[in-house]
Copies of this chain bind each other. A is one copy, B any other.
């Protein structure tokens, strides 16, 4: 499989002007991003690296960080984790608060905001220096020390993050948040503020394509079963209210963020990350979705 040639063809064939979408604008730090940024990076499990455009430029990974938080918390609690958060897709977005009410404060899955807040709560309870330890965990996955929180983004999010505070308080009213809501929310926004490039994201996600084994050290970060289950959750829950459409058109486990990034894996073959800041109404990168659809169509490689 000549991945570089495929990426080149996809890139050449893309008439970017045809695709709409809007850059996230709820905080100035995201609103000011150049909407034409565009990068792809693919890491083959057999060590090849293939790329296009701004693949080495860092951006705000936002919700993609939820995958790292889940990967870190899962081995800590094992299957007990699923007493505090489910594994079912969430249906349409407005339901988050309703479902929490009906389902007694247990979020549908760890990749929606409510579920990620529960995972943050677990990490805060388990870690000595939560933010530092989490950052080091991500650096370890990436094999790269040059990864940081963007404190300005984190603080900006806090100033408009009332809905997340609402979710955390509602779950605390059901006893599903152990720590102070302000600590949980603070950790959550720092986690989301991490900045990485497509290259770094793809390298980090390779561990999930590799059944939980670190691509450099070979260390088992997740058991094979845990790695598969995390992939299953990404497939069914990784794209907000478009998880079904992503599975339908692309067929790869992955996760998107409102910074315009998408990271995905084809198990046993490759990991890939795309960055294009313009989002559709569901909050997913328009070009990111398109590129991944073309990638699986061109390569005829998908999990189905």
Contacts and interface: CB of A to CB of B under 8 A. Distances in A.
A101 interface: yes
Contacts of A92: 88, 91, 99, 102-103
Interface stretch (A43-51, A60-68, A190-198, A225-233): A225-233
Contacts of A241: 88
B101 A94 contact: yes
A270 B231 CA distance: 21
Nearest to A303: B303
A87 B303 contact: no
User: Copy number in this complex?
Assistant: 4
Interface stretch (A8-16, A147-155, A168-176): A168-176
* Residue with the greatest number of chain B CB neighbours at <10 A, chosen from A236, A247, A303: A247
Interface residues of A, number: 56
A89 B91 contact: yes
Label chain A's interface by main secondary structure.
helix
A183 interface: no
A108 B247 CA distance: 14
A113 interface: no
Given A91-B90, A92-B91, A229 B248 contact: yes
Interface stretch (A30-38, A118-126, A136-144, A159-167): A159-167
A116 interface: no
A229 B303 CA distance: 11
A265 B160 CA distance: 43
B247 A236 contact: yes
